């Protein structure tokens, strides 16, 4: 990628953006596909299994988002160093990112394994015994996989910061093939049920982590890591990573804790509501795939522009990529409206659960097309520039005052059921969108610095 801010040449050509974004879209589709495949295969075991896995997935998503936040911090730092053509510092930041995320993941894994049942009881209260047993089993396997997931996420973020998303796409493809194949073998062949799904997840993450770690050690990369066995913590560099990663981690962590509380509203509505929310969440996740892919690209593009001091180019790419996000979500919303019935029919649900899914998704498609792009992809513009404290504060206030607060209003006071939970989510989206857009217009994001 040419990087010449002085002569006014574009840091990213159209071909560069295509090479970055297309693999990201494919990778995100693969991630969602394996999630849907897990849900579909586990659904064959019964609604108690789906419910147990969906509850654990809320915890897992919290852990994943915390690890992803740290990876994002590293990706922002690496991207800005690349924009400044400081490859040595970029490589140092990459190595410190791997150390930091792996240590954190090990600590989280030990904590999750040591307190499985207390965590589940604390978060979800009294749930059916069969749902609890399935949840404990699935949490055991997925907790062991946290360190492997941390390594994979960190390496994938490094390749994206270089503008090379093809490597992470191919690694994701391998991981998903192993996961789905393992599900088929362990669930249908060995009849292991939820344990089979957990074992397949663990095996796929471990294999993907080992492979992508070897690839990131290639000296032909713009950013590479070497001699990982010679552990040495460079605290000034780690501080730079944490300057982005900690606010982002707090933001993601509290956001997902809020989602855990929201899940508590759903568990009180019965097994059909839990299953319907899980299936609707899986399907809606597909709609967000292209937008989430472009959101990841924004970190790389804006980060390198900011590192090079090319703010005019940053604004140019922001407009271009956000228009792409809106086009993608509009297309996916239209596709859902056409395919809603067949998609829902793929899942073996009770009539009550299926009816709830058909009620939730059409409204979701419309609101997503209008509001979601500014609520979630757009704040990556601010994060890539280092304006992470603002995004953290806005996300915390919006999540807890609008999503959690309105859940209480819609579910407990107005008795709207699981639909009320989704209405509260839309309120949260609206609040975020307004705050992030106003911050961008103020121009204050251009005054932030994360590297000296």
Report whether pLDDT(31) > 80: no
* pLDDT at residue 1 is higher than 50: no
| Rounded mean pLDDT, 324-335 | 95
pLDDT > 70 in the chain, percent: 97
* Inter-residue long-range contacts of 366-370, CB under 8 Å, 24+ positions, other chains counted: 366/333, 367/426, 367/429, 368/284, 368/287, 368/288, 368/329, 368/333, 369/326, 369/329, 369/330, 369/333
Distance of CA 48 to the CA centre of its chain: 26
Query: How wide is the angle at C-alpha 326 spanned by C-alphas 67 and 402, nearest 5°?
Result: 60
Mean pLDDT of 101-116: 95
Of all residues in the chain, the percent with pLDDT exceeding 90 is: 61
Residue predicted with more confidence, 57 or 391: 391
Q: CA-CA distances (angstroms) from residue 110 to 101, 119, 380, 437?
A: 14, 13, 31, 40
Rounded distance between C-alpha atoms, residue 333 and residue 442, angstroms: 31
- Per the listing, tokens 């394994």 go with 113
Report pLDDT digits (tens) over 205-239: 999 999 999 999 999 999 999 988 888 899 889 98
Chain-centroid distance, C-alpha 161: 16
**Each residue of 17-26: pLDDT tens digit?**
999 999 999 9
Q: Name the 3-class secondary structure at 346.
A: coil
Question: What pLDDT is recorded for position 452?
Answer: 61
- For the stretch 49-83, pLDDT in tens is 888 888 888 888 888 888 988 998 899 999 999 99
Residues 277-286: tens digit of each pLDDT: 888 887 888 8
Confidence category of residue 300, pLDDT binned at 50, 70, 90: very high
**pLDDT range class, residue 199, cuts 50, 70, 90:** very high
pLDDT(36) > 90: no
**Global pTM?**
0.80
pLDDT value, residue 7: 42
Res 348 pLDDT > 80: no
Tell me the pLDDT of the chain averaged across its residues: 90
Give yes or no for a contact between 51 and 235, defined as CB atoms under 8 angstroms apart: no
Average pLDDT (78-89) is 92
Identify the pLDDT of residue 3: 43
Mean pLDDT, range 102-129, rounded to an integer: 90
Q: Which of 126-130, 354-358, 365-369 has the lowest mean pLDDT?
A: 126-130
CA distance 146 to 335: 34
Query: How is residue 319 written in tokens?
Result: 């407009």
Residue 240 pLDDT grade (very low, low, confident, very high; cuts 50, 70, 90): confident
Mean pLDDT of 83-101: 93
pLDDT at residue 2 above 50? no
> Residues 313-342: what's their mean pLDDT?
94
- The rounded distance, in Å, linking the Cα atoms of 100 and 346 is 41
pLDDT of residue 8: 57
- What is the CB neighbour count within 10 angstroms for residue 238? 18
Tokens of 344: 């829902």
């Amino acid at each position: 990628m040419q990087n010449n801010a002085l002569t006014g040449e574009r840091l990213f050509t159209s071909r560069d953006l295509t090479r970055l974004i297309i693999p990201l879209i494919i990778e995100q589709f693969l991630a969602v596909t394996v999630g849907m495949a897990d849900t579909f295969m586990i659904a064959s075991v019964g609604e108690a299994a789906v419910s147990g896995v969906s509850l654990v997935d809320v915890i897992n998503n919290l852990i994943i988002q915390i690890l992803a936040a740290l990876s994002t911090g590293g990706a922002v730092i690496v991207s800005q160093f690349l924009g400044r053509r400081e490859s040595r510092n970029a490589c140092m930041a990459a190595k410190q990112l791997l150390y930091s995320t792996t240590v954190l993941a090990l600590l989280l894994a030990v904590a999750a394994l040591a307190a499985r049942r207390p965590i589940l009881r604390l978060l979800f209260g009294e749930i059916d015994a069969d749902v609890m047993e399935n949840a404990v089993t699935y949490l055991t396997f997925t907790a062991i996989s946290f360190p492997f997931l941390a390594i994979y996420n960190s390496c994938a973020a490094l390749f994206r910061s270089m503008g090379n998303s093809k490597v992470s796409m191919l690694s994701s493809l391998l991981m998903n093939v192993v996961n789905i194949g393992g599900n088929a073998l362990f669930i249908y062949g060995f009849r292991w049920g939820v344990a089979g799904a957990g074992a397949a997840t663990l095996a796929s993450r471990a294999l993907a982590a080992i492979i992508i770690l070897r690839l990131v050690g290639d000296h032909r990369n713009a950013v590479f890591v070497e001699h990982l066995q010679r552990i040495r913590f460079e605290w000034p560099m780690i501080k730079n990573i944490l300057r982005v990663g900690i606010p982002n981690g707090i933001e993601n962590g509290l956001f997902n804790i809020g989602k855990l509380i929201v899940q508590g509203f759903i568990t009180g509505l019965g097994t059909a509501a839990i299953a319907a929310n899980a299936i609707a969440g899986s399907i809606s996740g597909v709609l967000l795939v292209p937008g989430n892919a472009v959101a990841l690209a924004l970190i790389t593009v804006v980060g390198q522009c900011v590192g090079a001091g090319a703010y005019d180019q940053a604004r140019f790419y922001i407009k271009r990529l956000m228009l792409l996000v809106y086009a993608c979500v509009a297309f996916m919303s239209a596709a859902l409206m056409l395919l809603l019935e067949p998609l829902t029919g793929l899942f073996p649900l009770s009539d009550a659960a299926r009816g709830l899914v058909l009620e939730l998704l059409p409204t979701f498609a419309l609101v997503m097309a209008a509001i979601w792009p500014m609520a979630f992809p757009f704040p990556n513009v601010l994060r890539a520039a280092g304006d992470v404290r603002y995004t953290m504060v806005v996300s915390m206030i919006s999540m807890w005052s609008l999503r959690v607060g309105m859940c209480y209003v819609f579910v407990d006071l107005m008795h709207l059921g699981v639909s009320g939970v989704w209405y509260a989510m839309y309120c949260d989206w609206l609040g975020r969108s307004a705050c992030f857009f106003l911050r961008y217009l103020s121009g204050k994001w251009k005054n932030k610095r994360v590297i000296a």
